Amino acid sequence: MYTGGFYYDCTFSVGKNENKKLFKCHKIILAEASDAIANILFKNFAEGQNGKDDPIVIDNNLLPETFDLAMRHIYGNVVEFTTTTQACEMYKFAHKWMLKYLKEDAVSALRKTKADEILLVYEMHKSLGDKEEQKFYLQRIMSETSEVLSSPTWIKASPSTVLEIYEKPSLAVVSEKDLFEPLIKWGTAYSEATGSELRSTIDGALKHIRFLTMFCPDFAELCAEKANVFSAEEKFKIMLSLELGNSKYMPPGFSTIDQWRMIQNYFQLQFDRISRVKVTETIVNCKSPTSGFEFSVKGKGKIFLTHVDLMSLLHKNNHGKEVEFICLLSTDSFDKILNVFKYKGILNAYEPDVKFESPVLLQTNTWYKITVQYLHRNDLTTKQFNYKSSPRSWKWDSAGAEVRVRLPLSHVDIVCIQLFHAPPSY
């Protein structure tokens, strides 16, 4: 009936100028599908009084292709959303004209959107005030951040969306550098398009970047590459904060958070909570043997090592004492050193932990070794963990990630390791 125009009793004019097109439709079918259209056709609106060949204009900005697809869906339940943009147009039309079933089918199509177009869908829902759908796509942005920020649609994001993303405490990025560089790219494009100054454009989001999770050389490299982003005073204060490990020197307004911002799927392997372990007090100094153990991981997705906790750094009896050590992450045969953490300073209640330059990606079914060598002369109080039987493996989260540990009969000081399990799409 629709495609043939048989028995039509109303006509709609859609599009502008040379793109204008006429559609012959049936009032009762459209009224059944939409209360909003029913009101226009059968209530006291002038359009409802038009003759069947007198065109009704319902939206000057509507594309004929969008109206045609909507009619095909209403008349024959045909779903032909071949692109994300097309599905967005269908959703907006269905939202405006209260087309329940078309809207549901558009939602289903849009939820299959790939990461490189998530921002398009999110900002559409944001403009329409669809809180539930906004929440769904914001969660996807948080769990697929790297892909979203590297997509072609990123530079077209609105300033409010950029700020909203950078404010989030949990994002799927390995380091804050993965946020800094896309921000500069977006800010440059936005500034060129609007004639605004780069720093003023990115200022709000820039101050949410957690520079305290970086090391001095990393921040210095950012400054060298983008010299016009920071003032001389800001550079100095951030470098001072990084060097001293103290957030009180950070420039006003900048983030003072020193924790990585990965999505919350952490697992802590705490040796003091393993069953059949006896914990005793001991000391460590430069004469102590190297402490360590071996472990491996497996599971779907990517698994990162993020932190190592040493009891000697946490024990309150050691506050005010000097400490110096080197922590190595290597393959079990020491043929490859993967990361090194060096620490020298006076312990305080800040409770420092061993935090590598960035989370370390671990390969499935490869054995790794964590070792700690102590260089300080004074005694630091710590714990020794003695095992009645060797623990074998622990599993965590719904994706079935697993960590296996090879421990000696006892080890000293390393009380916890923290790992992060990213989803397969990460």
The pLDDT value recorded for residue 12 is: 95
Does residue 420 contact residue 306 with C-beta atoms inside 8 Å? yes
Q: Are residues 87 and 127 in the same domain?
A: no
The pLDDT value recorded for residue 358 is: 73
pLDDT of residue 177 exceeding 80, the answer is yes
Q: Are residues 89 and 139 in the same domain?
A: no
CA distance 164 to 137: 13
Q: How confident is the model at residue 265 (pLDDT cuts 50, 70, 90)?
A: low
Domain-located, residue 15: yes
Q: Tell me the mean pLDDT in the region 312-323.
A: 90
Tell which wins on pLDDT, 26 or 402. 26
Q: Are residues 101 and 121 in the same domain?
A: no
Domain-located, residue 2: no
Give tens-digit pLDDT for 99-109.
Answer: 999 999 999 99
Give the CATH number for residue 284.
2.60.120.820
pLDDT of residue 350 exceeding 80, the answer is no
The domain of 15 spans 10-112
The pLDDT value recorded for residue 403 is: 85
Q: Are residues 74 and 217 in the same domain?
A: no
The pLDDT value recorded for residue 275 is: 67
Domain-located, residue 426: no
Calculate Rg over the CA atoms of the chain. 30
Residue among 326, 313, 329 nearest 375 (CA): 326
The pLDDT value recorded for residue 306 is: 84
Domain-located, residue 260: no
Q: Are residues 46 and 135 in the same domain?
A: no
Domain-located, residue 49: yes
Long-range pairs for 398-402: beta carbons < 8 A, 24 or more residues apart:
399/299, 399/300, 399/301, 399/423, 399/424, 400/299, 400/300, 401/267, 401/297, 401/298, 401/299, 401/300, 401/301, 401/303, 402/297, 402/298, 402/299
Give the CATH number for residue 95.
3.30.710.10
Report the share of the chain in percent with pLDDT over 70: 93
As beta bridge partners, residue 355 has: 307
Q: Are residues 382 and 331 in the same domain?
A: yes
Q: Are residues 128 and 231 in the same domain?
A: yes
Q: Are residues 126 and 230 in the same domain?
A: yes
Domain-located, residue 236: yes
Domain-located, residue 217: yes
Q: Tell me the mean pLDDT in the region 132-160.
A: 94
The pLDDT value recorded for residue 396 is: 63
CA distance 111 to 210: 31
pLDDT of residue 360 exceeding 90, the answer is no
Domain boundary among 186, 218, 249: 249
Tell which wins on pLDDT, 394 or 126. 126
Q: Are residues 47 and 189 in the same domain?
A: no
Domain boundary among 249, 283, 311: 249
Q: Is the pTM of this model over 0.75?
A: no
Q: Tell me the mean pLDDT in the region 289-313.
A: 87
pLDDT of residue 352 exceeding 70, the answer is no
Q: Are residues 227 and 278 in the same domain?
A: no
Residue 289 DSSP code: P
Number of domains in the chain: 3
Q: How confident is the model at residue 392 (pLDDT cuts 50, 70, 90)?
A: low
The pLDDT value recorded for residue 76 is: 86
